[in-house]
Chains A and B, each alone.
Chain A
Amino acid sequence: MRIEFEEGTLLLPEASEDVPYVEWDDRVKEYRAPAYRYRSLLEWVDAWDGNTSGSTVEKPAQQETIQSTTVAAEDAARAYPALALDPALQIEPREYQQAALNAWRTHDRRGSVVLPTGSGKTFLGIQAIADAGVGTLVVAPTINLMNQWHATLTNAFGDQLPHKGGDGPEQAIGVLGGGTHEIRPITVTTYDSAYRYIDEYGDQFGLLIADEIHHLPAPTYRQIPEMAIAPYRLGLTATYERADDAHELLEETGLIGPVVYEEAVDELAGEYLSEYETIHMQVELTDDERSQYDEEYGLYREYVDTHDFDLWKAEGYQEFLAHTSYDSDGRRALIAKQRAEDLARTAAKKLDTLDTLLKRHHDDRTIIFTANNDFAYEISQEFIVPCITHQTKTDERTEILERFRSGEYSILATSQVLDEGIDVPAANVGIILSGSASKRQYAQRLGRILRPTDERQPARLYEIIATDTMENYVSQRRREGVEAGA
């Protein structure tokens, strides 16, 4: 019997109907099995050899003929390399991290680990890659998280993997997503990109790591573990259970495996919000900005007021949006609202205030936040500071963050790329030039980036908003959320 990988499935020429997991495919007159059954099939023919760790073989161990007592199987599916890796991180694993890793190993390197946010799940992932010693695909829900994995993996393994197309270690880790399509023995990707390409690359990785794995049971994303042969699988999350109970799928079908380790939230929480002081600053719109703002905002208000939407409720806003798709006045009102927001967010005088703050803090480590890419780039050009947005290519982003971390760069401008669970090097000054009303985002930014430089000097967070605009309301709501929740 031969096991081949074909477009996210296993094709089994010369198989018979007593082979488990297979179905007869009349279109090709062969038996076929879902790709994730790869390991089980090898175990069935008694040809599974889990001792890959420590091997230094770089080339795919393909075409290997394996004899067993009953069935001979030729493994032509595996196309992933064995890797001998040693994490370059100096950090000792914390106790619970070591326990989680051990639990995963004794579960045949399959299953999920549930740890609270900020407790070092990425670190655990790195240990798992070194432990499994095979080509690995890391899947993250967003491009930001994908980028973060890229940066961390580059730190850990960049020097030990062959570089391609450049001399920096950041070229060693593959990226699939966000405009980059570079498959390497260790590759990071997003759920969306992985879904699109898994049928093509499902044979290239021996370990599948799914970050924020609670997203995975969605019907579309579920095809990622289904179409990969990876005999080792690791899920990471802080919130495993889903309201629809779909997480059970991951366990029952063997797509990932059971939860092998769980650490309660309150054991670890509370450590990472540092001492900081918030300073709110207001700037006026210029005369031109003010008249444009009033005009656009007026258009919007007028439409909303004449239609009685309750915009403070989600349904009211949905109703408004619905109108904009068939009513041309509504469409204009929506655009007016967006234009007014943009005017407030990018008010010229914010740059003057930023100017003052940068003078005051030119010896500090500062991160500047904007809510739109253009404004971040404007600041980058104006003050010659490195800038990261959604558009920044993964390699460059990793490099900028590394240089900021090492102190080579002391100022960093960024648009909203610091959401859910993102690691940013510590700074002692944060400047928010504009933001969204998301309370969670605000709190996470504060907690994650600000570290006092010494005992006497608390970290500073500045928020610069335009007076008499929608920003006032948004800012207020944000603070209420944080103070109530903190």
Chain B
Amino acid sequence: MLTADLARSRTSDGEVTPLFIDPDDARYRETASELVELFETHVGDPKADLDTAIDQLTVADTDYKIIQGLAKLLRDECDFETVAAAEPYEIRQRLFERANDSYPIVRQPTLDEDTRKLDVYTAVADELGISLAECHQGMYADLDANNRLVRFGDQIAESVELDTDGTTSTTQLTGQSEEAYKGEALTVEWLLNRYNLALAQAVLYDATELRIRVWDQFATVFSYVKLFGLMHRIYPIDEHGERVSSTDLAAGYEAILDGPASLFRQSRKYGIRMANFLPALPHCERWDLTAEILVDESANETRELTLDQTAGLQTHYSGGSRYDSDLERTLADKWERANTDWELVREDDVIDLGAEVLLPDFALEHPDSRRAILEIVGFWTPEYLEEKLDKIQQADVENLVLAVSEELDCTSEDIDLGAERLLWFKTGIHVYDVVDLAEKYAVQAASVVH
């Protein structure tokens, strides 16, 4: 993400607009390409060298905020590591202890042969079993500027070795190893799209409240709402974004997002979380957001940020529900092989339970249009489960059933194992148990919550 000093936005009439760049503009494509190449050629080098090279690009350029911003996003894709033959702190401590007995250590010897400095370094190098050059280089190898760029995107430095003269010789690799690296290939498109997203995120750091409206991909969007710990109220809305009385009539959902303390005071406390959430939205075909941006906290002066899908933002977050698990995959596999009329389908419902939305994992559908919703609960406490059942009852979702793992239970004595709508399972979920539940609780599709 961008630091505040690299953010670029314009304000007029109480509206704040991020200064997006056109990812097709040749000027920016060239800058982006230049930067990516610069990072590539510095794999294995000290961070300071990379920084100097980037600064050099901005010497007489008023676009330096853009250049430094792009560079910041690329730096976020890097790993820097300390490369030293011995623990730098250890080297330093030994050097200073020894030197303190030998002062003055000077550069211009008064006597012809003053070798105190060399003596100190050599003695410590010998103690540690490393070379003199390694001792000198390693002394401050853990400084931020001396750390080496060991990974950039999917490229890693195969080995960073020290030459005897203390300078580096690096073998560079361009990601062709069998090992699976976590990074991805960093392209000009990727960078410029990420930059626009980061500009919008930077505005959101100062947000006190975020209102979003989405008309598809509910499960993905609300799973990110939960992931970032944002508190929310959700309202069903129609095609035009107007609130409607029931989820039956919903074409989409509107949510107000903030955090627990916002009950007492407007603050930008949850701005970072809201900024982190933003990339979830472009998963939707149609979305919009309105954010209250705090300009002056003491005067409580705010501005407004509005964005929608026409801004052309691209997401780098993965789609689909965040709750995918082996368990669910296994159940789906078993279902394939099973003999039942019921069909197991991936679910995109959002059920508002008040404090949280329920994003059920599956729906069970019968050819005669009966339908049940299945939520798998892997992690729970008795309180959590009780609360959840309570809320489900309140929410009046009659066709919702839960499969709950016994394995992860804390104190099952507290819970009535015979509770309705519950399927307890130990290691895996059996298809026919689920079918039984579905037979019992499913309702005709016309009245399901959707």
Contacts and interface: CB of A to CB of B under 8 A. Distances in A.
Contacts of A362: 103-104
B59 interface: yes
Interface in B68-125: 89, 92, 95-100, 102-108, 110, 117, 120-121
A8 B120 contact: no
A89 to B, nearest CB: 26
Interface in B259-301: 259-261, 263-265, 267-269, 297-298
Contacts of B61: 328, 331
Interface residues of B, number: 49
A219 interface: yes
Nearest to A411: B103
Interface stretch (B28-36, B137-145, B365-373): B137-145
A365 B400 CA distance: 77
Given A384-B99, A385-B99, A27 B231 contact: yes
Interface in B229-269: 229, 231-233, 259-261, 263-265, 267-269
Contact of A199 (B99, B140, B231, B269): B269
Contact of B100 (A8, A325, A352, A408): A408
A354 to B, nearest CB: 9
Interface string A404-417: 00001111000000
B424 interface: no
Contact of B261 (A8, A352, A358): A8
Contact of A409 (B89, B100, B144, B355): B100
Contact of B92 (A28, A244, A325, A386): A386
A9 B145 CA distance: 40
A332 B60 contact: yes
Interface stretch (A60-68, A100-108, A375-383, A467-475): A375-383
Q: How large is the interface on A (under 10, 10 to 19, 20 to 34, 35 or more residues)?
A: 35 or more
Nearest to B60: A332
A329 interface: yes
Contacts of A385: 96, 99
Nearest to B59: A335
A28 B261 contact: no
A307 to B, nearest CB: 15
Given A219-B297, A359-B106, A359-B110, A331 B64 contact: yes
A296 B309 CA distance: 48
Contact of B95 (A199, A326, A377, A384): A384
B80 to A, nearest CB: 13
A6 interface: yes
Interface of B: 58-62, 64-65, 89, 92, 95-100, 102-108, 110, 117, 120-121, 136, 139-140, 143-145, 229, 231-233, 259-261, 263-265, 267-269, 297-298, 354-355
21 contacts: A8-B260, A8-B269, A9-B263, A27-B355, A199-B259, A219-B297, A219-B298, A220-B267, A220-B268, A223-B267, A226-B261, A226-B265, A331-B58, A331-B64, A352-B107, A377-B143, A382-B107, A383-B99, A384-B105, A409-B96, A409-B100
Q: Which 7 A-B pairs have the closest CB atoms?
A: A219-B297, A384-B99, A362-B104, A332-B60, A362-B103, A28-B355, A386-B96
Interface of A: 6-9, 11, 23, 25-29, 32, 34, 199, 218-220, 223, 226-227, 244, 246, 325-329, 331-332, 335, 351-352, 355, 358-359, 362, 374, 377, 380-386, 391, 396, 400, 408-411
